[in-house]
Chains A and B, each alone.
Chain A
């Protein structure tokens, strides 16, 4: 594919509902990241997947947030029992794993989540 794609582009939900956000990384990229961009917090790291290694979940704000990556490609970020403070743009990025350690991350257009 040409770049990282995310769906849906916009999501409006009611407080307390669960939502799933999808990310399709660039083909061949082994690393995948989720970030959140909100008015109060700026851009925050959420979670990182690299190959078959255990994901780095250190940025997830609560146990209502989870993510999985199936088959080393597509990833789904799930937010359970959404709260109004979850309203934000959720950005996905992917990168190659390079021997030198530099991994330029390429971002998708984001999913704009609004929790009413």
Chain B
């Protein structure tokens, strides 16, 4: 089965790094995504990583993938108040029937001054 888990809440101080963790159970996942959802808004794609990679960096964002442990993390450097949002990891499994995303429960990031 498919199950993606995240911690529900993370609080950091402005300027610190944030690390949001995610575990998934389906080893056939091919792409893993991080989405951001601000209050009252839809999902915004932040970044993604292919399953044959172990790291991807994009400006303040670093994604680490440990495929052996099925563990994905998102590090946000120099966290700002504008980063306060809910962050969802999601996995996609390529099947003949369609490529639906399976989302984690979401981690609410609160950035304090």
Contact = CB atoms under 8 A, between A and B. Distances in A.
Contacts of B98: 31, 48, 50, 56
B1 to A, nearest CB: 14
Contacts of B97: 56, 58
Contact of B106 (A31, A35, A42, A109): A42
Nearest to B92: A103
Given A43-B88, A101-B94, A102-B50, A59 B45 contact: no
Contact of A42 (B35, B44, B50, B103): B103
Interface in B29-48: 30-31, 33, 35, 41-45, 48
Contacts of B43: 91, 93, 107
A76 B111 CA distance: 38
Interface in B10-60: 30-31, 33, 35, 41-45, 48, 50
Could you tell me the dominant secondary structure of chain B's interface residues? strand
A61 to B, nearest CB: 15
Interface residues of A, number: 25
B50 A33 contact: no
A91 B42 CA distance: 7
B108 to A, nearest CB: 13
18 contacts: A4-B42, A33-B100, A35-B101, A42-B104, A43-B88, A43-B103, A56-B98, A58-B97, A59-B100, A101-B30, A102-B30, A102-B48, A103-B92, A104-B33, A106-B45, A107-B42, A107-B45, A109-B41
Given A107-B44, A109-B42, 15 more contacts: A42-B105, A45-B102, A48-B98, A48-B99, A50-B98, A56-B98, A93-B101, A101-B94, A102-B50, A104-B33, A105-B45, A107-B42, A107-B43, A109-B41, A110-B42
